[in-house]
Amino acid sequence: MLLRGIAFFTDSHARKNVTVFDTTLRDGEQTPGIAFTVEQKIEIARQLSQIGVHAIEAGFPASSKAEKETVTAIKSLGLDAKVCGLARATKNDVDTCLDCKVDMVHVFIPTSDVQRENTINKTRKEVLGITADIIGYIRKRSDLCMFSAMDATRTDWDYLIEVFRTAADAGATIINVPDTVGVISPSAMKTLITRINREVNCPIDVHCHNDFGLAVANTIAAVEAGASQVQVTVNGLGERAGNADLAQTVMIMESMYGIRTGITTERLVETSRLISRFSGLAIPPVQPVVGENVFSHESGIHSHGILKNAATFEPGIMTPEMVGHRRRLTLGKHVGRHAVRQMLADVHIDPTDPQLDGIIEKVKAIANRGKRVTDADLYEIAETIMGIELNNKIFNLEDIAIMTGNHVIPTASVKAKVNGKEHVFSAVGNGPVDAALNAILGITPAKLVLKEFNIEAISGGSDAMCHVTIAVEDEHGRIFDASGSGDDIVLSSVEAMVNAVNLINRAR
């Protein structure tokens, strides 16, 4: 296939349409340290259905009473996505799934010798019998049955084919090939799926783990070989190193292969951030597709190219708008003239060439000391070198009071003048800093979203000076950096937020 002048290799077996099966609520929650609340699971399920996920594995109902109740609650939402429950190859597990009224029962049994002998202590022949019996039992009670041969990629392939044929003959509506411990290579996965596709008359799904960083690559290799469904999690959550990431898998299929997944890709960043907030696991800036750095540019050569044509240093076939992202020019020791001039022009600052040289020299000097240079720093540097003062602050903090304690919900009250008019607002938060920032955001004239918060100590001891850096997004999707320093974490955070608010106003 030729796309925008770039050749991408596809396979004649690859599907034109592939459905997405999300297991964030089941395998994703098995990430060590993660436990979603019922309310969070319901919101996640709604989000996944809204973006077009075909099937949602809502949980493992037989694992606990609470899990059963949660799966039942998700099924009762009336989502467009099919709701699936996981079950071991026992009638009790299956009945528990069916009690939840799920659309699909996902039943699994170990098939590799190492798992079969050490977990269920069954012979190969016994596993074949159990497989036929349990699928037959499910199909008498449900229209949809997924069968997984657990640890399929470490199972003897001749025997694996026999297991899958047994499952298909018993009525499985789709068979899943799990790379349970993430040990197969993409070339081997392609060979395996090609063989299964040729020898077993049943749609194929794949579930890949990321122990060697190959989950997405193995998933795509399976699609090339004829798999019609992929199992993924948001942000690649899952046991050990996690699973194939939803955003990466979807965008590779959509952009590089022209495969339709039905996913509303413009909501991928939004979905990733939702899961990050609920899981407590930050999205690495370099996370493909959804990370903050994916469409950020610092290098002078890169920024110059981007300003002329975004395709110079971006894939082109994946734009920030396609995934719900925004393009950014950032400051650092590699920054160039074109980027700095553009960033200053955005806030109506127009330095002469010699002034611009001085501004860039100062920015690079700060960056070379290992310090992050924020947008606010840039404008202050420009004002100093140009000998100007931009008196366009709309937000002037007059007073702030914080109440917190071990038996008190952290609460902040703020009094400030906004555009010359006095405002008083109170807000609660997860801590005093969160409460204070929420209070400030509550009286800003435009809707702003805190995207990033970083704090570092710049001296030692319990009375250490701290430096707070934040990134705030305005209603147009533009992101601005600002900072604050002092010996009080709350007040330093407040200073950074006030600086950001005034910075955004300057750019209007």
Give residue-wise pLDDT tens across range 227-259: 999 999 999 999 999 999 999 999 999 999 999
pLDDT score at 237:
98
CA-based angle 325:31:183, to the nearest 5?
90
The secondary structure of the chain in percent helix, strand, coil, rounded to multiples of 5, reads 40, 20, 35
Higher pLDDT, 454 or 389: 454
Beta-carbon contacts of 186 under 8 Å, excluding residues fewer than 6 positions away, are: 214, 217, 218, 220, 221
pLDDT band at 182 (very low <50, low <70, confident <90, very high): very high
Tell me the β-bridge partners of 119.
Answer: none
Q: Give yes or no for a contact between 34 and 28, defined as CB atoms under 8 angstroms apart.
A: yes
Residues of the chain with CATH 3.20.20.70: 13-279
CB distance 111 to 155 below 8 Å: yes
CATH code assigned to 13-279: 3.20.20.70
Mean pLDDT computed over 146-162: 98
Question: Is domain 395-506 classified as CATH 3.10.270.10?
Answer: no
| Average pLDDT over all residues of the chain | 88
> Any residues with CB less than 8 A from the CB of 466 and at least 6 apart, and which?
455, 456, 457, 458, 485, 486, 487, 489, 492
pLDDT-based confidence at residue 375 (cuts at 50, 70, 90)? confident
pLDDT the model gives residue 299: 56
Would you say residue 1 has pLDDT above 60? no
* Cβ(343)–Cβ(329) below 8 Å: yes
460 burial type by CB count under 10 A (0-12 exposed, 13-18 middle, 19+ buried): exposed
Confidence of residue 14 (pLDDT cuts 50, 70, 90): low
Q: Where in the chain is the domain with CATH 3.30.160.270?
A: 395-506
CB 339 within 8 Å of CB 300: yes
Cα gap 83→42, rounded to integer Å: 12
In the 3-class helix/strand/coil scheme, how is 327-367 assigned residue by residue? CEECCCCCCCHHHHHHHHHCCCCCCCHHHHHHHHHHHHHHH
In the numeric block, which tokens belong to residue 83? 């709701």
Instruction: Give dist(CA 123, CA 365) in Å, integer.
Output: 69
Helix axes 375-386, 353-368, angle to 10 degrees: 130
Is 192 a residue whose pLDDT tops 80? yes
Lowest mean pLDDT, pick from 73-77, 128-132, 412-416, 453-457: 453-457
CA–CA distance from 93 to each of 98, 107, 111, 174, 306 (Å)? 9, 9, 19, 19, 55
Kindly tell me if the per-residue pLDDT of 10 is higher than 70: no
Q: Determine how β-strand 408-418 pairs with β-strand 395-405.
A: antiparallel
Q: What average pLDDT score do residues 464-493 get?
A: 81
Neighbours of 227 (CB within 10 A): 27
pTM of the model: 0.79
The answer to whether the beta carbons of residues 45 and 25 sit under 8 Å apart is yes
Question: What pLDDT is stored for residue 6 in this prediction?
Answer: 46
Q: Which of the pair, 47 or 495, is modelled with greater confidence?
A: 47
Average pLDDT over every residue of 452-481: 74
- The candidate with the shortest Cα–Cα distance to 193, out of 213, 218, 216, is 218
Q: What is the pLDDT of residue 143?
A: 97
pLDDT of residue 7: 42
In order, the DSSP letters of 21-87 are EE-TTTTGGGSTT----HHHHHHHHHHHHHTT-SEEEEE-GGG-HHHHHHHHHHHTT--SSEEEEEE
The tokens for 402 are: 């914080």
Percent of the chain with pLDDT over 70: 90
